[in-house]
Amino acid sequence: MSIIMIVLERINKIFDHGKTPITAVDDVSLRVEKGQIYGIIGYSGAGKSTLIRLLNGLEKPTTGSVTINGQQISAAKGEALRRARLKISMVFQHFNLLWSRTVSENIAFSMQIAGAPKAQIAARVAELIALVGLTGRERAYPSQLSGGQKQRVGIARALANSPDVLLCDEATSALDPQTTDQILELLLDINRRFGLTIVLITHEMHVVRKICDRVAVMENGKVVEEGEVIRVFTHPQQAITRQFVRQVSQYADDEDFDPELTRDLQGSVIKLTFTGHSTHRPVVGELTLRYGLPFNILHGKMTQTANGAFGQLWVHVSASQEQLANILADLQRSDIDGEVIAHG
């Protein structure tokens, strides 16, 4: 049975600066399971940065409640809020390191603030430096580090007090693509090794595809779509979600398929959508043998997520209406979505 780590219940956040109030978060309810990597994606102004500040108590909701690991953060004050924040750590887009402190001193800082003994701090710092791959750079200053190394320090610092939840606010946006993938692999390793719950705020669908289990799509303060990453990729419901999906070069929607390919064809074009184990089945070969019909592959693509592969295939076949209905039924029984998109 899964344990729910984060619960957002009917959250609204209204900023009343000037004559016109601004609704930054509009009636958002979410649940994040313990050990999940949960992505929240949206463009600038969507409300995702305000949402993450609500998660760590830096902002209080106008209405609604935020509960993390059984504690209502939205109602906590003073010492109770300070203790709660020790278990909710943050990784920032621009690193937010102390430039006058070394790598080791940056990592140690939050433990010093928490009053941990010196021996415990030294042991934990050494452990984290090895974990994030910075052995040998302990005495370096931030100005001597690359962007990826700075973010590794930021991650190590965030892990120092053994948090329950790690919040990442555009943690890879300032990095090049190769370094981004390295940081995402590090976060995925940390998640799998320690079962740490991670919430990622991003505007990049590549980040979501690479490591997230579930994703919420935000627009104008609202969550307009939410679900498992594979399901959102293969069946995006909202225009903004389809726009995000098109960001990922390995995968896009029907716009990748050229209708001109069907102009002179007699018969039907079927779009097959595969997820999980079905990506490994010789489906076209099976259909050819079963129905004695030639299936012509027109176009195809496949990509990988943290929880399995998915892809799409466009095939042409000249079949009777009865055969076509049976083919679609066979596909459904094999957990493959089949849709007739053109008739020649």
Query: What 3-state DSSP class applies to 150?
Result: helix
Average pLDDT, rounded, for the chain: 88
Q: Is the pLDDT of residue 255 over 60?
A: no
Confidence of residue 266 (pLDDT cuts 50, 70, 90): confident
Q: Which of 21-35, 162-176, 303-317 has the lowest mean pLDDT?
A: 303-317
Residue 9: what pLDDT?
96
Q: Is the pLDDT of residue 32 over 60?
A: yes
Q: Which of 109-118, 216-225, 331-340 has the lowest mean pLDDT?
A: 331-340
Q: How far apart are the first and last CA of the chain?
A: 50
Which of 222, 181, 209, 214 is CA-nearest to residue 197? 214
Q: Which two tokens stand for residue 169?
A: 């606010």
Domain 255-343 grouped into CATH 3.30.465.10: no
Q: Which two tokens stand for residue 153?
A: 């320090």
Kindly report the CA angle at 1 between 36 and 194, in degrees rounded to 5? 40
Rounded distance, CA 139 to CA 215, Å? 38
Confidence of residue 300 (pLDDT cuts 50, 70, 90): confident
Confidence of residue 342 (pLDDT cuts 50, 70, 90): confident
CATH superfamily of 4-245: P-loop containing nucleotide triphosphate hydrolases (3.40.50.300)
Query: What 3-state DSSP class applies to 196?
Result: coil
185-189 contact pairs (CB < 8 A, 24+): 186/132, 186/133, 186/152, 186/155, 187/37, 187/155, 187/211, 188/37, 188/306
Residue 344: what pLDDT?
58
Q: Which of 14-28, 131-145, 322-336 has the lowest mean pLDDT?
A: 322-336
Domain boundaries, the chain: 4-245, 255-343
